[in-house]
Amino acid sequence: MRMSCNVPVLLCLLLTVATRALGAGSDELLSFDLAAPEQQVTASARSPRPISKIAENVTVVTSEQITTLNVHTLEEILNTVPGIQLDSRRTPGSWGGFSVNGLGFEHVLVVLDGIVQNDLLNNFPDVGLIPAQQIDRIEIIKGAASAAWGPALGGVINIITKSPSLDRRAGGSALATYGEKGTTELNGELSGTVDRLGYYIGGGNFHSRGLLLGNGINFNHVWLKMTYDLPSGGTMTLGSSLRDAFRGLEASVPLNYNDTDSTTFYHGLIDYTQPLGNNLSFDLSVRHQSYQDTVIWGSLDQTVLPAVFPVREIVTTASTKLRWITAANSLLIGVDGEHQGLTDALGAHNKVDRWATYLNGSLTTGKFTLLPGIRYDHTGLDTNPVSLTLGATWQLEEKSVLRGYVAQGYGLPTVYNSSSLQRIRTVQIGAETSSIPYVWLKGTLFYNYLWDIVTSVISDKQTQIRQGFELEARTLPLFGFTLCSGYTYSDNRDKDSHKPIPFTPEHSLKASLDYKSSFGLSGILTGNYVWWNPDAYAARYSAMIWDLSLTQKLLPHSNLSPELFFTGHNLFNGAQYINDLYKNAPRWIEGGVRFRF
């Protein structure tokens, strides 16, 4: 508790030191541009908008940032994002949960190239089985986004994988790593464009005996994406991927148990985009994903007979969108359709057909932008909700914006808990500025009123209040160094009893120090601290977990130079987890080489 109370003080101290240091001045100082092309975000409205015209609290992670971290999976990337808290950090690729500003993973929609990753059984997205190397961009909405996405009560994590390289006929990269406990990764990719045809092929293997006992993994994946520019000016995109993983422990004499998880994902996609003139365009998309998971659990001495839990899911979706975008205004009309099939561990078959229609847009006059949205969902359950959002931004000046929105949304129930939807009303107010010399700042206040929230397998329901704030800061580069920090406070309580909701994060702090030099050396030091509100299990949260990654480009001025990198995880061997059954990994190190061509 003493450390958690000092978290805001530590954040302010970091920013004060950074600001004073930057006051000396430097030729390296740059400016932040809220309207820059890289600040265009698709997730908030399912259509590109500059971040200066987005009402929600959004964080964007680019492929360049992912490369700097030298991580293996999406789960490890999310651990560095302010407002996102992982339950624990075990062997990369492990099963694990997370929260977004106090709302659990079951309330957050995870989307990979337009395909929902939350399973049909528990709304669980397996972010440990999405490889980092194939990700081009991640857009994270922290707050209700049902008016655009449907069952996104707590937010959206929108993952966009890499596309064909447009500026060359052939190029790619190869990567190899080795770490403790036989933790290895091999990964390669080839990409380019020939005339009208673009291609991207990538894949790899991640393997570990397990940084903790019984926590091994063998993960294979392959990705394909092809684009073709039509003579009419339109574009066709085809894509597919296969992800296959075996996790757990087949036999352990000391622990006397067998606990394994065999998982396979397959997805395919077809996209067709056609400009219609007069700022109009038409999109048609088809997606198909199959998911199969088999868990085997039991004791080796047969005192507990082995149990097999097979689950299979098949989801096919189709959507069409009509976009009208000008320099000042936009309008998007869309229709989604979905067929789901689930065969659970008991052999029961569940089929659901869902469809939705939505409308959102933006209207700008001067410095003010109004952002309305509405969506109707036919869920196939006992309720068909109408989700609403009304947001606004006010650009005070070129580098400062005020934003806020109110929304009503919903989340889907799990198969065994309830047949009714979970609901939310949310309010957010925030500001973002880079007008203060040498520093970028962002702050958000949030208030969430939730009802019909399922809390147990017997379908107990609660009305909850989850409220708090998030602060983020980043300095401009000084002699190659950039300091970033983020602090989130979330007060999560039952509305009637006023008791804290168990297993939710109350305080969290992210900090990083990024370094880039002209002689090829780069690195990043990241720190993560979470104070949980535990219930029955022995949580630990006395330590801040620090990771350090260093990369050296051997020939700094050559694009074909190999890069050597080294990463030290949990440098001070700290303990931070919500449940002592799933402790975080102790200190471990790995290194590798990356080659681009």
Q: Which of 189, 73, 60 is nearest to 137 (CA)?
A: 60
Task: Tell me the CATH number at 401.
Answer: 2.40.170.20
Residue 581 CB-density burial (10 A; 0-12 exposed, 13-18 middle, 19+ buried): exposed
Structure token digits, residue 65: 């940032």
The pLDDT of residue 12? 44
Domain count, the chain: 1
Residue 421 per-residue DSSP state: P
Q: What is the rounded distance in angstroms from the CA atom of residue 27 to the CA atom of residue 383?
A: 59
Q: What is the rounded distance in angstroms from the CA atom of residue 529 to the CA atom of residue 549?
A: 18
pTM of the shown model:
0.92
Structure token digits, residue 238: 């085809």
User: Coil, strand, or helix at residue 20?
Assistant: helix
- pLDDT by residue for the chain (597 residues), tens only, comes to 333 344 444 444 444 433 333 333 333 333 455 555 456 888 888 988 888 899 999 999 999 999 999 999 999 999 999 999 998 889 999 988 999 999 999 999 999 999 999 998 889 999 999 999 999 999 999 999 999 999 999 999 999 999 999 999 999 999 999 999 999 999 999 999 999 999 999 999 999 999 998 899 999 999 999 999 999 999 999 999 999 999 987 655 455 667 788 999 999 999 999 999 889 999 999 999 999 999 887 765 656 566 788 999 999 999 999 999 998 899 999 999 999 998 877 777 889 899 999 999 999 999 999 999 999 999 988 899 999 999 999 999 888 999 999 999 999 987 666 678 999 999 999 999 998 888 999 999 999 999 998 876 555 789 999 999 999 999 999 999 999 999 999 999 999 999 999 889 999 999 999 999 999 999 999 999 999 887 656 788 888 999 999 999 999 888 888 999 999 999 999 999 888 878 899 999 999 999 999
Cα 482 to chain centroid, rounded = 23
How many other CB atoms are found less than 10 A from the CB of residue 588? Answer: 17
Pseudo-torsion of CA 489, 108, 442, 510, nearest 10°? 60
Q: Which of 357, 230, 337 is nearest to 286 (CA)?
A: 337
Unique residue bearing structure tokens 């104070």: 531
Is residue 571 left, alpha or beta, with left meaning phi > 0 and alpha meaning psi from -120 to 50?
alpha
**Boundaries of domain holding 522:** 2-596
Q: Are 61 and 77 in contact (CB under 8 A)?
A: yes
The pLDDT of residue 22? 35
Residue 195's alpha-carbon distances to 225, 227, 233, 290, 597, in angstroms, are 16, 11, 14, 33, 20
Rg for the chain, CA atoms, rounded: 24
**What string of H, E and C letters represents the secondary structure of 434-459?**
CCCCCEEEEEEEEEEEEEEEECCCCC
**What string of H, E and C letters represents the secondary structure of 167-228?**
CCCCEEEEEEEEEHHHEEEEEEEEEEEECCEEEEEEEEEEEECCCCCCCEEEEEEEEEEEEE
The pLDDT of residue 418? 63
Q: What is the rounded distance in angstroms from the CA atom of residue 525 to the CA atom of residue 14?
A: 14
